[in-house]
Amino acid sequence: MDYRNKLSEMIQTATDVLFNMAKAMPADKLDWKPLDNGRSVMDQLEECAKSPMFFISLIAPETSTQNSEHNVEQDVNQTLTIDKWETQCKDNTQKLLDLLNQLNDEELEQQVELPWGGTASKADVIGFQHWNLVYHQGQISYIQTLYGDFDLHL
C-alpha cells in the first residue's frame, strides 16, 4: 500500500471512529462542558468537520478560496446534529484527500509555514487531520469517563 492510500485509510477510519464515539453518548452529554470550562463533544465535532479546510488553506491557499463555503449552514430554527457535522467532516475530508491525490511526490515534500511557527511538509500537514481526529477521540473518551461510561465505543 502506498503512502497516499494508507493516509487516506487512516483519516477515514479515524473519522468513522470519532463519530461512532459521539453517537454512543447520551444526548444530554453532547453539549456538556467538563467543569464548565472544557469543550463539549459538539464543539470538538465542529472543529474536526472544519479542520480539513484549514489544512487545505495551509497547503494550497489559492484553492481554499474556492472552498470557502465549508461551514455548515444553519438557519435560526436549525439545530446542528452529529449527523450534520459528520456529513460536513466527510465532505471536507474528501476535499483534503483529493488534494493529497493531486499532489505529486515532490509537491508533498514541499515545506509550508505553520501559523504556530516552524514548517512541515505538505504531506505532514495532510496527516495533521488524522492526528487531530485521534486527539479528539481521546477528548471524547475522557468526557465519557467523567459521566461514568468506561466502555470503548469504536
Measuring CA to CA, which residue among 152, 132, 112 is closest to residue 52? Answer: 132
Per the confidence metrics, is the pTM higher than 0.95? no
Continuous segment of H or E residues that includes residue 113: strand 111-113
Domain count of the chain?
1
Q: Is residue 85 part of a domain?
A: yes
Q: In 3D, which of 98, 86, 21, 23 has the Cα closest to residue 59? A: 98
Q: What is the domain extent for residue 134?
A: 3-65+80-146
Q: Output the domain CATH number for residue 92.
A: 1.20.120.450
pLDDT in tens, 90-145: 999 999 999 999 999 999 999 999 999 999 999 999 999 999 999 999 999 999 99
Work out the percent of the chain whose per-residue pLDDT is above 90.
Answer: 75
* Gap between the Cα atoms of 18 and 9, Å rounded: 14
Measured between alpha carbons, how far apart are the two ends of the chain, in Å?
A: 24
Give the span between the Cα atoms of 94 and 104, in whole angstroms: 17
Give the mean pLDDT of 18-39: 91
Q: Does residue 75 fall inside a structural domain?
A: no
Would you say residue 53 lies in a domain? yes
